A and B are shown apart, each in its own frame.
Chain A
């Protein structure tokens, strides 16, 4: 009756265990609600009072569905999406430890490396879902309220909406790779600490510290090594022509950091004495 470790903790089971949590519902629910909140805010605000000749992403947000999607992504990529990805990835192991159910799961038996793998896959799956949900719902809301219009950029360029949609896809693909860095960091912290708040808060805190260091221009080209230096490199995908060099560097950096964090997580968890 001894079963091989490979069939332990199937992905469906882990996904179900995470699904019915309140925080999952809140996070995904908020992402669905956010575009409609923005639509309401724009409707209340009335015509923008910025100077003529000075347009910003905000002013262009109501000019079409794809513009609205780009604005929503821009508004949330800096902090909200980082927090949500850190939440999904950082609280998965730590919350099991805090509920004392981790030891029973490990004794089931679920091999430690396998447990991490399944939990990471499900956490990344939820993160990817949120990365798809936000622009998807924003696009829907934009279509309903602003219509299918060509895309205008703050620099004055414009291109058809279909091409804009493809570019938004490129932006989300880049964000998916970059968010891997945040998720890996949160996941590693999740194996180190027993409190979910410590893991999620620690990951978000380190991202904030990295952003602060990135603002110190005196560091010069040393800043390129910081993990969050290329956080907004996806804006290059929206200009004419598309410039890939910053995004390429961002992807490589994110993958390198993720590899380091994940190895740290595996190594720590494998050699750790579980006392939770």
Chain B
């Protein structure tokens, strides 16, 4: 449809509809404009910078740090803003934190994101957050920020600055805050407390002391010298640091690998001494003293007492590299100074990704923390938060899986639930070469469900001892590290075991929460002599449901750790009279957004709008201006007043037709095909809405479902029956559908008209066309209506039936007891009326008393049959009428004689 036609059809709409459509379009456009404006945030200005720093113990090594500064819109020398230093994780660069930096800049901070030495485009070698190297670099970055005109200053040379970062960057935040008192707030994420203990964990302490008087997940400080080497993670990180850098490195960098054609350097970007110590450790599986000293220097544990910047500690629940205990130890050390500390445990971690990463929540937490301590915003408090993780829901795949729970504080003395375990003493074997080793998790894949790994040997036979509890009476929601006392005897002088706490459901399936294990080494044993140790299991947030069992498994091997290669046998059992102590930290869940109440409001709004729309539109359909009833026409069966029916596209089926059918007439409606007869009859039945004009039956205007139609019986355009019911059932149910009592139906008379005999009991789908036709006429006559409308009643009938029909129609209009034909002669005014439309002009001539002729939608003639026909035949008169050009001003109208009222000219 071309635009011109669309415009013309639009112009033809009623005015109210036009205004409504235009208004709707305007509202939509306004909505789109508002949405576009709201979504466009002013982006911060970014600038790449190269900052020269000097580090090393003598501050003589020159290194260039590659950084990007993000300045928010509206911040300049006149309007200064606090600064945030963002550090990245191991193996990354400033590009990894670009999104976080942009988010912080949008909230109004000047952000400096940089690549640490040895990473990205920065020169130098990786020294693992050493105070002489990376921390010294960071202090000079703070100096650089103090010199920037956009940065707010507390004192000359002391900018208002916060530091944040994840993992490697988190430890940098803590160390920087310990070495540089200018730092005003820090937000370290998923980072370590003691790097030695992180890579050489030892979960057993010799004395079976009372359950810990410490934070929910704190490892009692077992010495890292006896720890079990976390070799998979160490190897991964070593490779990340050792990846050779592309050859385009600027001059002045120290130790760029492979430039002068020398032998390839296996250390890559790692600092030489660190690399050598690591290689030694990787060979033996036991740490060298020099390595432990290096790691200790790089650990916040050495400077916790000097940190006075308020600290937000976020740790991951799905993290086998730096578990929850690292954050708890940091928190204890920093809080001991009186510094405000907030501890948050979240669902992700080094092993968690996707939805568990809770990126938005972390950004909000960090922003709120800096908002208060750097910019004077509301106080976020120091309540302890952790996350409950639920398995994915089949019913609603987009439902969030994580739920934040807020406890009043990070408890130093949590309550414990004591769950007794039972099981015999068992012997487990450490295989020669440590092979095969059980797989508990793969780094970075901590969220893989147990089903996927079940085929990979999580607990190998002969290597694992299991101790189970009874089915729980009530659910136990563990928050933190559980402890249990066990007795170990070894065939050698030491024992290395891995403690795992499984959740066993009613069906017997075991799940290892977050796939975390607690490795421990007991040294100084004599062969065969048992020793009691307290094992601290990994920190978890997990709910053991009622009916589930807790299963403690002690295994001899784990793929991710370096166990002893010499074969050994250990005998393990539970210490008598002790139970597993599980810490509980009750809290209140944080309400999630988009509650059902909001939905209910929207739903009600939609329903209300729909009801309103429905009500408004149905009101439009009643004819306007017409008087519903004209009592003076109550005796006239049919009055058609100026009926017009025009269809879209220009076709006018009925054009200003007006005629009357008086009481007692058998009126024939004649016209060629397409004259508008059927349309007129459909308007009469209330099936078609006229464009203008109306039809009155016994004085009442006909609308769809008008009550006066009860006095009309119609047969138009063929029969319509339910094929699965018998003829009698069709008639009966049709009559009952009118709501009138069955006695009024005159069923016997009607069936006599149909003349079907026993066939009325057969299903209609077995009827022939003629039988259906007769039954349909019978249906029209149900109740003997005062106005009977028939369209081609003789279609498909054989000559005897046609004759019978003729008699039926004649008798129909005659009053009771009067002779047939009395009405034709105008005697008596009681009885019924028939309107017949037919092409069989001979029949019409014999049956009808009056005729109405239509052509091209217009009335051509109307009047008694004798007047129209004159001396000849109806057929000739009819064809002659059709040949005349019809115009609205010149209707050949027959003036009727006798009692009939005159039809008027238009």
Interface residues of A (CB under 8 A from B): 1-10, 13-14, 16-17, 20-22, 51-55, 99-115, 152, 155-158, 217, 220-221, 223-224, 229-230, 232-236, 240, 244-246, 248-249, 252-253, 255-256, 259-260, 262-263, 266-267, 270-271, 273-275
Contact = CB atoms under 8 A, between A and B. Distances in A.
B723 A99 contact: yes
Nearest to B613: A263
Interface of B: 391, 393-399, 451, 454, 505-510, 545, 547-548, 595-596, 599-600, 602-603, 606-607, 610-611, 613-614, 617-618, 621, 682, 685-689, 704-712, 714, 716-725, 733-734, 736-740, 744, 779
B454 A53 contact: yes
Contact of B602 (A8, A101, A234, A252): A252
Given A54-B451, A103-B687, A256 B606 contact: yes
10 contacts: A9-B737, A53-B509, A99-B720, A103-B687, A107-B687, A152-B507, A224-B398, A253-B599, A260-B610, A275-B687
A273 B724 contact: no
B613 A246 contact: no
A107 B610 CA distance: 28
Given A109-B706, A252-B596, A101 B394 contact: no
Contacts of A267: 613-614, 617-618
Contacts of B716: 103
Given A17-B725, A112-B704, A236 B393 contact: yes
Given A230-B396, A259-B607, A100 B736 contact: no
B396 A233 contact: yes
Given A109-B706, A252-B600, A104 B734 contact: yes
User: A14, A55, A263: which has the most chain B beta carbons within 10 Å?
Assistant: A263
A256 B710 contact: no
A2 B708 contact: yes
A104 B707 CA distance: 14
B716 to A, nearest CB: 7
B606 A3 contact: no
Contacts of B737: 8-10, 13-14, 105, 108, 110
Contacts of A54: 451, 509
User: B396, B606, B710: which has the most chain A beta carbons within 10 Å?
Assistant: B396
Contacts of B451: 53-54
A99 B545 contact: no
B508 A53 contact: yes
Contact of A233 (B395, B595, B723): B395
A8 B738 contact: yes
Contacts of A259: 606-607, 610-611
Contacts of A115: 705
A89 B40 CA distance: 46
A109 B395 contact: no
A270 B710 contact: no
Contacts of B714: 104, 107
A156 B733 contact: no
Interchain residue pairs A-B with the least CB separation, the first 3: A111-B705, A156-B505, A100-B720
A220 B865 CA distance: 76
Contacts of A232: 394-396
Contacts of B708: 2
A273 B651 CA distance: 15
A2 B709 CA distance: 8
A1 B711 contact: yes
B395 A236 contact: yes
Contact of A101 (B509, B600, B613, B722): B722
B705 A114 contact: yes
Given A101-B721, A232-B395, A249-B596, A106 B686 contact: yes
Contact of A253 (B603, B704, B706, B709): B603
B603 A256 contact: yes
Given A53-B508, A111-B704, A266-B614, A20 B725 contact: yes
B688 to A, nearest CB: 4
A180 to B, nearest CB: 12
A262 B548 CA distance: 49
